[in-house]
Amino acid sequence: MQSVINISRAEHYNWYEDARPYSVSPQRRFSSRQNRASESVRPSDRSLFAWFVAHSEAASRIGFVACVIFYGLTAAYGMSRTGQWDELRQSLATRTNELALMAGLEVKAVQVEGQHHLKETEIAAALGPREGVSIFKFDTDAARERLKRNGWVAEARVMRLLPSTLVVELEERTPFALWREGGKLAAIDRSGKVLSLAERTDFPNLRVVSGAGAAAPAGEIVDALNAVPELRDRVRDIERIAGRRWDLVLDSGLRAKLPATNFAGALADLSAIAAKNPAGLYEIAEIDFRVSSQFTLQLKDGSEAGRKKFLSWLSKTRESRNEKL
């Protein structure tokens, strides 16, 4: 016996809904697919999907802005590769400078603080040309670097003071001694850095050291001489010999040869000789302290008569020597 199924009643009982999906309405098919897709993803993915669905308009705007930024950066990169970016930047800088000048912001005055030895012409040269330059276009960093190239300048600051003034603050190095070499005289600081060429009359109270390589170690010998004031005021010149030791030339013409190291003891002995027998210094041409624990003399009159005269002079009392003088 063949069974007959009524189609309309079968659809009513949903017997073959899955076998014939085309029999389901389009709205039900869409809802079914959406539910299955939502069930197949993780909860975090579902929340992201829901956010995009809820903010589809904002996401579209974000995408549009991102595209604009991307194409803008691409165009800027192309301009920089072809040199057009530099031309555009220069054109904008020129126009900005013109507008600032029209507003009265041209550099018209320079205020300098901390200047002692640096000359006005050196400061002007370091700052560079300022005519037709606005206060904003002036390169303060470059001016600062140019100032620091000068030997006198330890530190410098260049600032803008609106509407039209540059403020220059200087920290100058302190001159410590004068260094003579090759017929030229230069002021140096304690570390031996050359500050500038100088004249003896510019720094009458500074010690003079001479010879190749005398600048860097000058601080040590000058400090040692300052510790023996009886000798310090009689030293006329301090010479560097072979880049390793010092010779002192006194006002009497005596040359004292100091050892390469530990010359404080030699200076103390020479100071004692100068204090006890000041007139005897004029009889001595050279005194050598290079051998430790002893020194040798060379008289100006090296003859036998001259030696006897000097020894005889030493054997007398100080009072009798002074009377003879």
Q: What is the pLDDT along the chain (325 residues), one digit of tens a residue?
A: 444 545 455 444 444 444 444 445 555 554 555 555 555 545 545 565 565 566 566 666 666 666 656 556 665 555 555 655 566 556 656 666 666 567 667 888 999 999 999 999 999 999 998 888 888 888 899 999 999 999 999 999 999 998 889 999 999 999 999 999 988 999 999 999 999 999 999 999 999 999 999 999 999 999 999 999 889 889 999 999 999 999 999 999 999 999 998 888 999 999 888 887 787 788 889 999 998 878 888 888 878 887 777 777 666 655 554 544 4
Structure tokens at 286: 């050279």
Pairing relationship of beta strands 284-288 and 165-172 according to DSSP bridges? unpaired
User: May I ask the CATH architecture of the domain 104-172?
Assistant: Roll (3.10)
- C-alpha of 157 from chain center: 12
The Cα–Cα gap between 270 and 264 comes to 10
Q: How far apart are CA 55 and CA 57, in angstroms?
A: 5
Rg (CA), the chain: 46
Diameter of the chain by CA atoms? Answer: 170
Query: Which class is 217-324 in CATH?
Result: alpha beta
User: What values do phi and psi take at 162, rounded to 5?
Assistant: -65, 145
Length of the chain: 325
pLDDT of 10:
47
| Per-residue CA distances from 156 to 108, 143, 299 (Å) | 20, 9, 54
For residue 225 the two structure tokens come to 């001489």
How buried is 259 (Cβ within 10 angstroms: 0-12 exposed, 13-18 middle, 19+ buried)? middle
pTM metric for this prediction:
0.64
pLDDT of residue 72: 61
Residue 307 confidence (pLDDT): 79
Single-letter amino acid code for the residue at 192: G
Q: What is the DSSP letter of 282?
A: G
Instruction: Give the β-pairing of 109-113 and 165-172.
Output: parallel
* Cβ contact 254:286 at 8 Å: yes
Domain ranges within the chain, ordered by starting residue: 104-172, 217-324
235: left (phi over 0), alpha (psi -120 to 50) or beta: beta
3-class DSSP state for residue 167? strand
Report the amino acid identity of residue 112: V
Instruction: Report yes or no: 289 and 266 within 8 Å, Cβ to Cβ.
Output: yes
DSSP bridge pairs for 159: 167
